[in-house]
């Protein structure tokens, strides 16, 4: 018998853009991409409401299926949900991020294996490791959005401290980013300077991001 597949109800997603083209977040797509991609954004205000373990697993499961060069899957998500572990993980964040991310019910770090494990080039540096890990992060972020959660990546971390906190050997692995994950909380709970910025950002125009035929610098 085929295993039952549970459908996750999308709390953040919309099925079709309204006539104006403006989506509920305020973002306006320039072509018919699924709202999933346009409506995901990175809040800083998180509710302390815990994330259900099955939902958390679904988020990591989405990342597990990300593509990678030679299927090396050079990523590991190390996560904390218990208060004492979250406090430990928060020590690896840059101060500007610790300020808001400490309240998220889940903190995670994305650890990247630097060398190739399998095949002809085993033991050589993996030139696409961070790129592959980025794909895994994006899958995680999109599944979080589909599951009614928000994920916020943080490159602002102390990589040495984070590695020490996690017990990561620096010769073989990099700590790429930290991730705050949970349900969105009220912007008013943030310090005023961050509360002002608590809204979805814009993007460069489509015709600048995708150009036909020849590269054109827009810098
Ligand atoms: C690799 C990476 C590193 C980031 N580092 C930080 C960070 O240290 N602190 C922060 O507040 N936001 C950080 N962000 C969030 C970005 O600022 C945010 O994704 C960007 O402004 C686009 O906004 P959006 O995600 O809300 O669409 C990071 C995002 C990525 C992908």
Tens of pLDDT, residue by residue over 120-141, are 999 999 999 999 999 999 999 9
> What is the pLDDT averaged over residues 207-218?
92
Domain 49-196 classification at class level: alpha beta
> What is the pLDDT averaged over residues 198-210?
97
Q: Report how far residue 148's alpha carbon sits from residue 146's, in angstroms, rounded to the nearest whole number.
A: 6
CB 134 within 8 A of CB 69: no
Percent over 70 (pLDDT), the chain: 91
pLDDT for res 123: 97
Mutational test site, ligand 1, from 102, 154, 176, 187, max ligand atoms within 8 Å of CB:
154
> What is the pLDDT averaged over residues 136-153?
98
Calculate how far, in angstroms, residue 5's C-alpha sits from the geometric centre of ligand 1.
Answer: 32
Judge if the beta carbon of residue 78 lies within 6 A of ligand 1: no
Radius of gyration of the chain (CA): 19
> What is the pLDDT averaged over residues 86-109?
98
Indicate which residue's Cα is closest to atom 31 of ligand 1: 153
Q: Residue 216 is encoded by which pair of tokens?
A: 């054109």
Lowest mean pLDDT among 3-7, 41-45, 72-76, 164-168: 3-7
Domain boundaries along the sequence of the chain: 49-196
Indicate which residue's Cα is closest to atom 1 of ligand 1: 155
Judge if the beta carbon of residue 200 lies within 6 A of ligand 1: yes
Place of tokens 């309204």: 18
Q: CA angle at residue 44 from 33 to 155, to 5 degrees?
A: 80
Percent over 90 (pLDDT), the chain: 89
**Above 90 in pLDDT, residue 157?**
yes
Mutational test site, ligand 1, from 26, 41, 155, max ligand atoms within 8 Å of CB:
155
pLDDT band at 14 (very low <50, low <70, confident <90, very high): very low
**Above 80 in pLDDT, residue 77?**
yes
The Cβ of residue 107 has, within 10 Å, a number of other Cβ atoms equal to: 26
152 CA closest ligand 1 atom index: 15
Calculate how far, in angstroms, residue 41's C-alpha sits from the geometric centre of ligand 1.
Answer: 9
Give alpha helix (H) positions in the chain: 35-39, 53-64, 83-90, 95-101, 129-146, 159-166, 192-196, 206-209
Judge if the beta carbon of residue 168 lies within 6 A of ligand 1: no
Residues 42, 78, 62, 183: what is their CA dihedral angle, to the nearest 10 degrees? -40
CB 181 within 8 A of CB 104: yes
β-bridge mates for residue 154, sequence order: 178
**Above 80 in pLDDT, residue 19?**
no
Indicate which residue's Cα is closest to atom 15 of ligand 1: 153
């Amino acid at each position: 018998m085929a295993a039952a597949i549970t459908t996750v109800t999308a709390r953040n997603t919309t099925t079709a853009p309204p006539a104006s083209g403006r989506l509920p977040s305020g973002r306006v797509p320039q072509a018919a991409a699924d709202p999933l991609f346009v409506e995901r954004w990175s809040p800083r205000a998180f509710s302390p409401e815990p994330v259900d373990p099955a939902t958390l697993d679904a988020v990591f499961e989405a990342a597990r299926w990300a593509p990678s060069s030679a299927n090396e899957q050079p990523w590991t998500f190390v996560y904390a949900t218990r208060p004492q572990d979250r406090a430990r993980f928060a020590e690896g964040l840059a101060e500007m991020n610790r300020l808001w991310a400490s309240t998220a019910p889940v903190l995670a770090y994305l650890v990247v294996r630097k060398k190739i494990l399998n095949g002809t080039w085993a033991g050589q540096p993996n030139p696409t490791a961070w790129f592959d890990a980025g794909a895994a992060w994006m899958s995680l972020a999109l599944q979080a959005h589909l599951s009614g959660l928000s994920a916020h990546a943080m490159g602002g971390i102390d990589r040495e401290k984070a590695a020490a906190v996690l017990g990561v050997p620096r010769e073989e692995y990099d700590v790429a980013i930290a991730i705050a994950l949970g349900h969105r909380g009220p912007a008013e709970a943030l310090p005023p300077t961050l509360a002002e910025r608590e809204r979805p950002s814009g993007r460069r125009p489509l015709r600048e991001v995708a150009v036909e035929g020849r590269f054109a610098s827009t810098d």
